[in-house]
Structure 1
Amino acid sequence: MDQTAPPPDPPEPVEGFGVHLTRTEENVAEIDALGARLQEHGGGRVGISGVLGDLDRRMRRTFLPWPRLLGRAVDRAITWERRDRRDLRWYPQGISTSVRTEVERDVLVTSWYSKKDEGSRVSFIDLAARRYRHVLLVEPTLVDGVPGFKPLKAHAGGVVWHGPYLHVAATGRGFLTCRVDEVMRVPGAAGLATYGHDYVLPVRFAYRAANEEGVTRLRFSFMTLDRSTEPPSLVVGEYGNSKQTRRLARFPTDPGTGLLSTGEDGVSRPILDGEDGLTRMQGTAVVDGTYFVTSSHGTSYGSMHVGRPGDFRTTKWATPPGPEDLVYWPETDLLWSLSEHPGWRWVFAMDRSRLLKT
């Protein structure tokens, strides 16, 4: 990108490019029944406040000058307890914030997927206290009147916390939505398998992905919330190699509910922002029309790309190896991300203004 010349006009957005999402029915009966069963054993719904009041693990701060050695763009970094930093079963993926929710603390939420068929989970991190806790994501069940759950099996490459809702990316399936006030504590006496987690968060409904004939289904590899549009937009992107689609698209949200806007047919259709050709995209954040994108290079340091689809400027050696999802925190002007490789796992922040000047 030539910084001495004005940037080219952004490409015209393409509406309704042959992919869409359809929202499923809500699992109200299943969730209510599960809550009642757990309450009988001394557990049940505790909500996000219950989890934040019972954080059982501690984040470790990474002091200067080490953050610069984590990547040229890194300004702040913290890391997990050793057992999570080196865990070969669970891999961190998505990241979002408590910005403009009812939570009064500065909280990050990250998503993980299991390589051992244990599903996916989220971790709530109190930044001031530097403490966190894992919460297992589950699909509630009600079989012959008996409530229960099974682990949510999704790659969880992105996560968005918007109002009371937590959206979790599920690649070709679309994404799944939970309500943070439905976090539940699961006592051992309930007899349900939680894979070592004391809390679960049930899926309330899903947004199922579909495509027209001849159009490649949109993969929800990562996702973020663009708060610089009114109302905010849910932006999604595709991880891909040189032979796969690598699209960036946005879904407008409804200003009343915060959920996706729908047409008269009840279907949500995205706007195609671009097919810019960046390979191995892992996450994005969008601020006032500018995209910030992470990309990975195996066990080498990751890259940051700044610009617009089709017109990016790249900073190499910008992040730790294995950068993942990305989120913007407006009040601090920081971009937060996280890295996935065992032994090289950090939750780290980058100054957005400095990236614009790099």
Structure 2
Amino acid sequence: MSLRRRCTRAAVAAGILAGLLVAPAAARAAAGPGALPASQYTLTADYHQFDTVNAALVSALGTAAVHTVMDNANHDRTALPSTFSVAGLSGGFRFDSGDNSDCANYPQGITTSRDAVGTANGGNYDGHQLVLVSWYTKDGCDGDQARSRITLVDWDATYPNKYRKVLLVEPTGTAAAPDFKDIPIHAGGVSWYGDYLYVADTGHGMRVFDMRKILKTDTGGTADQIGRQSPTVYYAHNYAYVLPQVGTITSKTTSGTNLAWSSISLDRVSKSIVMTEYTCQSGCTAYPNRAPRAIRYPFASTGVFAATTTASQALQLPWYNLNGVASHNGRWWFNSSGQKKLYYWTPSAGPATYSWVSSGESISYWEDDTAADLLWTLQEGVGNRNVFAVEQAAYDG
């Protein structure tokens, strides 16, 4: 029996005993999203932006396959607390106590190897069934954003309950002297499709990374050291692995208001990435005060974005404080951290509203050929960083 299914049975049993797991009650809203002109939203893609420097970095440092990174995973994930309850709970975990209580690092986006490869080979990428979470790091508990990273978490009974942190970096320098630097972005959403990892870059679009090109770096420097120290020594804040950016997906619009790329998610059915914006109804100074949008961008038949891509769907949303979005087979889910609500919508059935967790973040749809499809999500709050999956059928209107 897989670890996920054991967790599912344990969670259900605990919920029944405690009388906590009940079917969520959906409240029908009067109005849902409205259509916008999709032609107003385009992307330009460059997957080869850093080819020259990246080739030199690979030559200097060497790469580590995902299975090698996981063979060297050095953090223990822990179980969800017994007090945690949400309708339709299927299973989940917490990071170790240090990461759970770290006031300088915040988990944001979530994707899985089921996004990357679908249900083939049990959803394994390079032999591992993985949950991937993006984080941003501040310069101290009250400082500015300083860098970003991902964690690769094994979610399979075949392997230990471990995870590994990988620093995200931007290549710099030249072919003769390749280097890299930190990427100080919010990393509010992340999607894994094929070998490519797409990370939301709030004011611009997405940064692209290649999961086949994780680099090995030197440990032993100071926590502040980053990049080339000599032709043979590269430090990365004591991370043993870095993932260098390979390209950029740039967002453009003729609507007059640029998109705020707050969260993204993969829709494997329509082979597209969907995004949404975090905005406020009023009173915000750090975020826009206007209605948010959700946009769908289709991949080309090659499985990557074309040089220029026009959106296939654009929506004006009636909800605010949106930190998460997911779409699958014509259905949409939106998580509002500010309202502690999960909104569900289809064009035919209209919207429905469910009570949800506090400090909720991104959403990832998990396809399953032999069990219920799931929605994976997480909470960012210090001391309360639950990463969990619910059966999507419990939140489908």
TM-score by structure 1 length? 0.86
Is 1:224 the counterpart of 2:247 in the alignment?
A: no
Residue identity opposite 2:342 in structure 1: M
Separation in 2, partners of 1:47, 1:4:
46
Change (3 A) 1:89 1:193: farther
2:340 maps to a residue whose letter is: G
Selected match of 1:253 from 293, 299, 320: 299
Partner of 1:241: 280
- Aligned pair partner of 2:151 in 107, 112, 123: 123
Query: What amino acid is aligned across from residue 283 of structure 1 in structure 2?
Result: G
Distance 1:10 1:337, change over 3 A: closer
- 1:302 offset after TM fit, Å? 2.5
Paired letter, 1:145: A
* Displacement after TM superposition at 1:340 (Å): 0.7
AA in 1 matched with 2:106: Y
Match of 2:395, SS state, is: helix
Alignment of 1:205 onto 2:247: yes
User: What do residues 5-29 of structure 1 show as CA deviations (whole Å, max 9, x unaligned)?
Assistant: 9x99985563212x32222343111
CA distance in 2, matches of 1:271, 1:16: 8
Structure 1 residues 90 and 31, CA gap change in structure 2 (3 angstroms) = same
Structure 2 residue aligned with 1:329, among 347, 359, 366?
A: 366
Distance 1:151 1:3 in 2: 43
Q: CA deviation at 1:130?
A: 2.2
The secondary structure found in structure 2 opposite 1:16 is: helix
Unpaired segments ≥5 residues, structure 1: 39-43
- Structure 1: how far apart are the matches of 2:330 and 2:164? 34
2: distance between equivalents of 1:166 and 1:91?
Answer: 19
Give the % identical residues: 27
Deviation at 1:337, TM superposition (A): 0.4
Structure 1 residues 74-128: Cα deviation after superposition (integer angstroms, max 9, x where no partner): 4423101011001111110000010153433221111001111431001000012
Change (3 A) 1:143 1:9: closer
The aligned amino acid for 1:326 is I
SS in 2 for 1:32: helix
Please state whether the residue corresponding to 1:188 is helix, strand or coil. coil
**1:308 to 2:346 alignment:** yes
Give the Cα–Cα distance (whole angstroms) in 2 for the partners of residues 175 and 285 of structure 1: 17
Q: Cα RMSD (Å) of the superposition?
A: 2.6
1:51 paired residue number: 69
What TM-score do the two structures reach when normalised by structure 2?
A: 0.78
Partner of 1:41: none
In the alignment, the residues of structure 2 paired with residue 118 and residue 222 of structure 1 have an alpha-carbon distance, to the nearest angstrom, of 19
SS in 2 for 1:293: strand
Distance 1:46 1:240, change over 3 A: same
Given that 1:118 and 1:195 are in contact with CA atoms closer than 8 Å, whether structure 2 keeps it comes out as no
Rounded to whole Å, the distance in 1 between the matches of 2:126 and 2:365 is 17
Q: 1:276 aligns with which of 317, 330, 333?
A: 317
Q: Is the 8 A contact 1:158 1:325 kept in 2?
A: yes
Could you list the per-position Cα deviations for residues 160-204 of structure 1 after superposition, in whole angstroms to 9, with x for gaps in the alignment?
Answer: 010010000001111000110000110238543412311000000
The DSSP-based 3-state class of the residue aligned with 1:153 is coil
